[in-house]
Structure formats: C-alpha cells, structure tokens
Structure 1
Amino acid sequence: MAADALPMVFVHGTRFSAGQWSTQLAALRDEFPVAAVDLPGHGERSDQPWSLSSATGIIASAVDSLGRGPALVVGHSLGGYAALEFARHHPERLRGLVLAGASAATRGAWTTPYRWVAGLVPRIPADRLARWNDRLLLRHYPPDVVEATIRSGYAFHTLPAAWGEVLGRFDAGAMRHVAVPALILNGEKDSLFRSGEADFARAHPHARVELIPRAGHLANFDAPDAFTDAVRRFARQLTAGR
C-alpha cells in the first residue's frame, strides 16, 4: 500500500451494519486504508440511540482512526444522508464523497409511505422481520455477498427514529455544503433514489453521476465488482488530483 494511499470510510444503509461492505472492504484493503462503521442503533452499536449528530461523530472517529488525514466517505441510502451531514459539520476530515442511493430529496409527498412504514415496523416482531430479510437477501444475492450483513443482524428498532430525522431534512441544497469532489453512484434501476440525481449534481461544481448497469437500490449487492470498481476509480482520480 502506498504511503499516500487515500483512506476510505464506508457508511451503511437503513437497518444494516458495517457488514454491508464486506465485499468492498476485501477488494480494496490492499490498495487503500479502509473502514466501515456501525451507525448509532445498528450492529455493535445496537443499544445506542439514533441521532444524526452521533452518526457524524462516529464517521469522524473512523476517519481519525485510519490516521491518514481526510478520507473518501462512501455512504449508501441512510448512510449517504449521514455522510452529507458529516460533510457539513466536518469538512476538514473529508477528501471526497460518494453518495450511493442517496440522491433523492427527503421532502415532499413521496415520503408519506416511508413515514407509514416507519410507524408500522415497531408493531411487527423483530424476529419475523429478520427472517423475512434473511430470505429476501439469500433469494437475490450470493451468500458470500450478504452473509456478513445477515450475521450482523438488523436494526429495525432504530428505523423510526432514523427515518424520522432524515425525512423532511435533505434536498439538493445539501450539496452546497460539500467542499470536495462528489460521485453520485446509483443503480440504474433505482428509480426512486435516482429521482433527484440531476438536481444533486447541478448543485455541486465538482459532482458527477455514474450508474451501475442493471443494479437497483442495493447496488453494492447487485453488482459488487462494478460498484467497487467505481469507488476505486474515483479514489484514484482524487489521489491523482492532489
């Protein structure tokens, strides 16, 4: 690994944990210092209460733990919005930003079903939700891609608080607080979370959009090699541009 290798911190999506990134970490760790975090209320932090403030602190601590200075932060879905909040409050720790499945405004009428789901989830036993998710992941993805996610469990108990804080908070204007190059990396078939990608890109002078062919919202599961390659290429561009 080069002495000036760019550090990377990966931030997971709703209900998942750091295990979501096991494939990416394995593929990138020989070239880059890498880490993946558990957000508050998720994974090994399951007992911690959710807040965006705590989430940004956790990301900052992960960047510092790598000991290489400002990092490329890769956030998926909920983790993408947490990464936007991190960019606003900790710009000195950020070298680049990848937003994956997080380029839709979280305001407006389309969020109504999400608020309904957030209210419904606590009424369903967590073990039943876990079984449904295990079956869903194993039906669609190879075991080696999702086994770390399944093993780490799910944070359904945190979903109402997390969505409750994110919904109504973000739109393309959040990109104006990002002072570093940004890659908006979406699955081609993720029509919902691609809905604002053009607006998010226009709001930032150094942002570009890249699509993962035939992938949906869980693009790093649908096409792990293509997702990893996109992150790797972006990181190399950032390093070359120093």
Structure 2
Amino acid sequence: MLPVVLIHGIRLSATMWDPVASHLSHLGRPVTAADLPGHGTRAGEPFTMDAATSAVADAVDALGGRALVAGLSLGGYVGIAVAERFPERVAGLMAIGCTALGSAAGPHRFAASLAARKPSLANRISAYGLRRLLPGPAGEAMVAGGLFCEVMPQVVDAVAGHDQLAALAAYPGRVWLVNGTRDPFRVHERDFLRACRNGRLILVPRRGHLGVMAAPRPLARLVGDLCDQADRLPYAQADPRV
C-alpha cells in the first residue's frame, strides 16, 4: 500500500491527525504525521519553507521514499512546496483548506502578530476555541501536542512568500484540492485548480476550514481512496482522465 504523510496546520502539531491516522492504520495503510519546525516536538526551531519541506521529505523517506502527502491549511501549503521541491517523493498531493493566495495574507499577518505578542494567552484561547469547534476526539487531538502561537508570524511570512501557483504548475503528479464549502480559504480555488497539471477539486458540504476534521473516518476513507488512485501510475505518467 502507498504510505501517507500527514502535515498539520499553523500553531498545531502532528497530533491533530491522530484520529485520521488511527483509521488509516486500521485499514492497513502505512501512515505518519510530521511535526513542522516551530511546532510540536520541534518547538523553538525557526520556521522556513525550506526547513518545513525538508522535514516532510524526511518523513516520506522514513516510509520508503514515496508517499501521498496530505496537509490541512499550513500543511497544505507546505505540501504544495514539497511537491515542487521533491516531486519524486510525492506520489500524489492532497491539499486541504489552502487555496488562498498570498495577496490575502494581510489580516492573517496582523492576527499572527497579535498572537505572538502574548503566546500563552493566545494558546489558551486557541485551545478553548478548537475544543468548542470540534468537540470530542477531533478537538482533543488538535491540542494534545501543544499549541505554538509564537511561531505564527514566521509561518505567515513563509507562506506569503512562496508562489503556490508556480509550485503546482511545476508538479507533474496528481493533485486533489479539498475544501469545505464554508471555508473562506476557498477564495482562489479556481486559480489553484487551473495551475495544476493534473488536478481535481473536491468540496465537502457544510464544512468550514477545520470542520473537515470533524469526521475522521470519512476523511480517512477519502485519503485511502486517493492513495489508491495515486498509486496506479508513477507520478510522471499520471493520466488526468483517471
């Protein structure tokens, strides 16, 4: 089976994927979730896009050197950069909730700056909000590995400084852009889709930015299905009609 590497969102950690990873493991799918610099087990490390993509590439190598890469929000943007930098390692890309261009970064940069000024307070507020938004195991998984608001300005700058459309255009493999229909990060999804050589847009009804994580079992099934599709052909021979 094609392995999966999962990438977390901003200020979160690899534990956010625990419920999904558990379902994938029960299906026999090799899976790991990577902590990005400045997050989780790598707290305190500077966040750059090069360092983040190297961390993901290391996780892919630990699973055999080729995997489906799936990320949410920041994880999706990093996944796009990984596909650009290490296309031979990325059998397919599942980019969730990450189809807003850097031109929309202004409000996020301001919010990140505020959060980084008082990270302990921002982390407590984030934990409360995440548990309210995603009651039960999904919300607990979001906060289990800690929260890291202090790194948010570095993350926003790195994402805004990366040309996601050029990165998608450079990657020859399969790309699935997945958005909740209520996700404000959908704003440029058609531009992202047009940039893909071999892309498909999947919309999840009635879900917001993080709401796609509320149902781990269906999300795991979708990840597994996309793995099966990505594994049919080597990335350089992927057929956009499939």
Q: Does the alignment pair 1:217 with 2:209?
A: yes
Q: Where in structure 2 are the equivalents of 1:220-231 lying within 5 Å? A: 220-231=212-223
RMSD: 1.6
Aligned partner (choices 162, 172, 175) of residue 182 of structure 1:
175
Q: Which one is further off, 146-155 or 206-215?
A: 146-155
Specify the alignment match of 1:16 in structure 2.
12
Q: Which one is further off, 35-44 or 80-89?
A: 80-89
Q: Distance in 2 between matches of 1:87 and 1:31?
A: 25
Specify the alignment match of 1:118 in structure 2.
112
Moved >4 Å (runs of 4+):
none
Residues 12, 178 of structure 1: CA spacing in aligned structure 2 closer, same or farther, 3 A cutoff? Answer: same
Q: Does the alignment pair 1:54 with 2:51?
A: yes
Q: Which one is further off, 36-45 or 166-175?
A: 166-175
Specify the alignment match of 1:206 in structure 2.
198
3-state SS of paired residue (1:209): strand
Q: Which one is further off, 139-148 or 43-52?
A: 139-148
Gaps of 5+ in 2: 235-242
Specify the alignment match of 1:194 in structure 2.
186
Gaps of 5+ in 1: none
Specify the alignment match of 1:74 in structure 2.
70
Following TM superposition, by how much is the alpha carbon of 1:90 offset from its aligned partner in structure 2, in angstroms?
A: 0.9
Q: Which amino acid aligns with 1:104?
A: A
Q: Which amino acid aligns with 1:61?
A: D
Following TM superposition, by how much is the alpha carbon of 1:171 offset from its aligned partner in structure 2, in angstroms?
A: 4.1
Q: What count of residue pairs does the alignment treat as equivalent? A: 233
Q: Distance in 1 between matches of 2:76 and 2:133?
A: 23
Q: Which amino acid aligns with 2:175?
A: A
Contact 2:83-2:90 within 8 A present in 1 as well = yes
Q: Distance in 2 between matches of 1:203 and 1:130?
A: 35
Contact 1:188-1:212 within 8 A present in 2 as well = yes
Q: Distance in 1 between matches of 2:94 and 2:113?
A: 30
3-state SS of paired residue (2:32): strand
Q: Does the alignment pair 1:35 with 2:32?
A: yes
Contact 2:77-2:98 within 8 A present in 1 as well = yes
Following TM superposition, by how much is the alpha carbon of 1:123 offset from its aligned partner in structure 2, in angstroms?
A: 2.0
Length-normalised TM-score, structure 1: 0.90
Contact 2:116-2:151 within 8 A present in 1 as well = no
Length-normalised TM-score, structure 2: 0.90
Q: Distance in 2 between matches of 1:151 and 1:226?
A: 22
Cα offsets for 1:177-212 (capped at 9, x unmatched):
22210100111110x211111111122231101111
Following TM superposition, by how much is the alpha carbon of 1:168 offset from its aligned partner in structure 2, in angstroms?
A: 4.0
Specify the alignment match of 1:170 in structure 2.
163
Residue identity (%):
36
3-state SS of paired residue (1:193): helix
Contact 2:24-2:31 within 8 A present in 1 as well = yes
Q: Does the alignment pair 1:102 with 2:98?
A: yes
Specify the alignment match of 1:64 in structure 2.
61
Following TM superposition, by how much is the alpha carbon of 1:19 offset from its aligned partner in structure 2, in angstroms?
A: 0.8
Cα offsets for 1:15-47 (capped at 9, x unmatched):
110011011100101321100000000001002
Cα offsets for 1:120-145 (capped at 9, x unmatched):
22222x22222212221222223211
